[in-house]
């Protein structure tokens, strides 16, 4: 499965990644406040619409806080 990691301690909660993810896999974590005083973004995996590894979230983040990990393609 593709996945992302967010350095959420530096997240400003701007929601760009939330808005741009075509699979709606990034949410603002309303239950948490980071060291900067913001509700940070978090990755919420969903097997029904898995991460495409498209990196739109990573490209749009103004602080480059998102790393995308793509599943290696198997050999046929």
State CA 31 to chain mean position distance. Answer: 17
- Closest to ligand SF4 by CB, 65 vs 76, is 65
DSSP 14: -
- Closest to ligand SF4 by CB, 22 vs 71, is 22
Binding characters for ligand SF4, 22-61, by CB under 6 A (x = yes): xx-xx--------------x---------xxxxxxx--xx
Q: Which of 64, 42, 45 is nearest to 55 (CA)?
A: 64
- Beta carbons of 26 and 2 less than 8 angstroms apart: no
User: Tokens standing for 10?
Assistant: 């530096």
Q: Note the residues at the interface with ligand SF4 (CB under 6 A).
A: 2, 4, 6, 11-17, 21-23, 25-26, 41, 51-57, 60-61, 63, 65-66, 68
């Amino acid at each position: 499965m593709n996945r992302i990691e967010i350095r959420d301690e530096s997240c400003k909660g701007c929601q760009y990644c939330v808005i741009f993810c075509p699979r709606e896999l990034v949410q603002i974590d309303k239950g948490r406040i980071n060291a900067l005083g913001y509700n940070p973004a978090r990755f919420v995996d969903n097997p029904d619409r898995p991460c495409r590894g498209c990196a739109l979230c990573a490209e749009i983040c103004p602080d480059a806080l998102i790393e995308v990990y793509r599943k290696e393609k198997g050999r046929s």
